[in-house]
Amino acid sequence: MTSAKRPTSAFVLAAGMGQRMRPLTDTIPKPLVPLGGKPLIDHVLDRLAAAGIKKAVVNLHYLADKLEAHLAHRTQPKIVFSNERKHLLDTGGGVLHALPKLGNGPFVIHNSDSVWIEGLGSNLDRLLCTWDEATMDSLMLVAPLAASIGYDGLGDFQMDATGRLTRQTGPKMAPFVFAGVSIAHPRLFDGAPEGAFSLNRLWDRAIEKGRLYGLRLEGVWMHVGTPDALSEAEAALTEPLTTSSD
């Protein structure tokens, strides 16, 4: 499945309070917390630029001035700010608020705390190449639980042979976790509520329509959400983990 309309814009979720990352976020926003000597958001933006993303819309709320100043002179990708200083809009509301800045075509949504060690080739490039707006409202990068660092949940999704995603039901752990990166078509937001709401509401609606798909991440995914997870990620960057079927 491929699409000639490869996305060239992205929305980067960078407005959160970073409460689980305290005390590191007492004085800086979470996207500026360094990993391997580089702020988290620069890991994200460098990867987006390498994959051909030309414009990144970054939302601002907590310690917004510091993040805005850090990104002020960045040119690749071009940075556009979405101001949420007055009201934090959660993931779905934040994207909806920024839609006029993202244009009419599909776009990437990228968490600022989601990084990974690549396997063979670029996972983001694979995601962009797999996007098919004829069959998908959203395409997610999903990581196997066994190849994840800093995640302590029960997983998010099951995935069938075509890549279609469904929520895990029952007591078993789900085999795949959302890796913090997806592609969305603007129609995903048709009829979305006003104000703050989670993207999960829209993903569940896409599941009902059979239009939420996933692509397996190749490599090691790192959810850098807490100081402990940051330490684990630092160690993994120093001595990269390998995954196998053994």
Provide, rounded to the nearest whole percent, the portion of the chain with pLDDT above 90.
66
Flag whether 192 is in a domain.
yes
Flag whether 4 is in a domain.
no
Instruction: Say if residue 147's pLDDT is above 80.
Output: no
Residue (of 78, 43, 45, 85) closest to 64 by Cα position: 85
Handedness of CA 93, 220, 155, 160 (dihedral sign): positive
Instruction: Say if residue 36's pLDDT is above 90.
Output: no
Q: Mean pLDDT in the chain?
A: 89
Number of domains in the chain: 1
pLDDT for position 3: 46
pLDDT for position 2: 44
Instruction: Give the mean model confidence (pLDDT) for residues 204-233.
Output: 90
Checking DSSP bridges between strand 55-60 and strand 9-13, what pairing results, if any? parallel
pLDDT for position 170: 67
Instruction: Say if residue 61's pLDDT is above 80.
Output: yes
Measured from the Cβ of residue 20, the count of other Cβ atoms closer than 10 Å reads 14
DSSP 164: B
Instruction: Say if residue 229's pLDDT is above 90.
Output: no
Handedness of CA 216, 122, 182, 133 (dihedral sign): negative
Pairwise CA distance, residues 202 & 185, whole Å: 11
User: Would you state the structure tokens that stand for residue 16, as one six-digit string?
Assistant: 């959160």
Q: What angle do CA 130, 152, 51 make, to 5 degrees?
A: 25
- 82 by DSSP, 3-state: which? strand
Report the range of poorest mean pLDDT among 39-43, 60-64, 143-147.
143-147
- If one compares 113 and 147, the residue with the highest pLDDT of the two is 113
- If one compares 119 and 8, the residue with the highest pLDDT of the two is 8
Instruction: Give the mean model confidence (pLDDT) for residues 1-8.
Output: 67
Q: Containing domain of residue 189, as a range? A: 9-238
Instruction: Say if residue 245's pLDDT is above 70.
Output: no
Flag whether 61 is in a domain.
yes
What does pTM read for this prediction? 0.91
Measured from the Cβ of residue 239, the count of other Cβ atoms closer than 10 Å reads 6
Instruction: Give the mean model confidence (pLDDT) for residues 14-40.
Output: 90
Pairwise CA distance, residues 56 & 61, whole Å: 16
Residues 60, 14 contacting (CB under 8 angstroms): yes
Question: Cβ neighbours of residue 44 under 8 Å, at least 6 residues apart?
Answer: 12, 31, 110, 111, 112, 114, 115
Provide, rounded to the nearest whole percent, the portion of the chain with pLDDT above 70.
94
Flag whether 223 is in a domain.
yes
Pairwise CA distance, residues 112 & 221, whole Å: 13
Instruction: Give the mean model confidence (pLDDT) for residues 78-107.
Output: 95
Pairwise CA distance, residues 227 & 144, whole Å: 22
Residue (of 184, 177, 191) closest to 212 by Cα position: 184
- The helix (run of H) or strand (run of E) holding residue 221 is strand 219-223
- Is the link from the previous residue into 23 a cis peptide, with omega within 30 of 0? yes
Going by pLDDT thresholds of 50, 70 and 90, the confidence category of residue 156 is confident
- If one compares 21 and 102, the residue with the highest pLDDT of the two is 102
| CATH number, domain with residue 181 | 3.90.550.10
Flag whether 246 is in a domain.
no
Instruction: Give the mean model confidence (pLDDT) for residues 78-98.
Output: 95
Flag whether 243 is in a domain.
no
Instruction: Say if residue 150's pLDDT is above 80.
Output: no
pLDDT for position 118: 85
